[in-house]
Amino acid sequence: MTMEQDRWSRVKGRLRSSVGEDVYTSWFARMDLEGVQDESVRLSVPTRFLKSWIQAHYAERVLSCWQAEMPEVHRIDLTVRSAVRPVMQPKEAPAPVEMRRTPTPELRSTATAPVSANHDAL
C-alpha cells in the first residue's frame, strides 16, 4: 500500500500544479485513494455532488495525471464514501442568507415610519 500511496501523493502534486491551488482545494482535497487494480484506479470522495462534478469536469485531467505516473492506467473509478452529510448542503447555504438580507431593511423602514408619524400627531 505504501507504494500506491506514494504514487497517489505524486499524482496529487501533479493535479495541484495542473489545476491550481484554489481548484485543487475545492474539488480534490478530500479525494482518497482506495486502491489500484490492473488498469484502473479506485478513488473516493465524500459526496455525490463532488463525484459528479469531478466526473463532468476533471475526469480526463485526473486520468492523465495518473498516466504520467503509471502509463498502464486506463480508467478512474470514482466512488462516494459513506454519505453522512446531506448532499445538498453546499447549494442550500447561500440562498437563505440572500433571502433574509433583502426583506429585513424594508420591514424596518416601514415599521419605523408610521410610529414616528403617530408621535408627531400626538
Q: Please spell the DSSP secondary structure of 29-70, one letter per residue.
A: TT-EEEEEETTEEEEEES-HHHHHHHHHHTHHHHHHHHHHH-
In the block, residue with C-alpha cell 482545494: 25
Q: What would the mean pLDDT of 55-69 be, rounded to a whole number?
A: 96
Tens of pLDDT, residue by residue over 68-118, are: 999 999 999 999 997 454 445 444 444 444 444 544 445 454 444 555 555
Grid coordinates standing for 81? Answer: 464514501
Residue 16 has pLDDT above 80, yes or no: yes
Kindly state the greatest CA–CA separation across the chain. 87
Residue 121 has pLDDT above 70, yes or no: no
pLDDT at 97: 47
pTM of this structure: 0.64
**Lowest-pLDDT range of 4-8, 45-49, 71-75, 109-113:** 109-113
- The structural domains of the chain, ordered by start, are 2-86 (3.30.300.180)
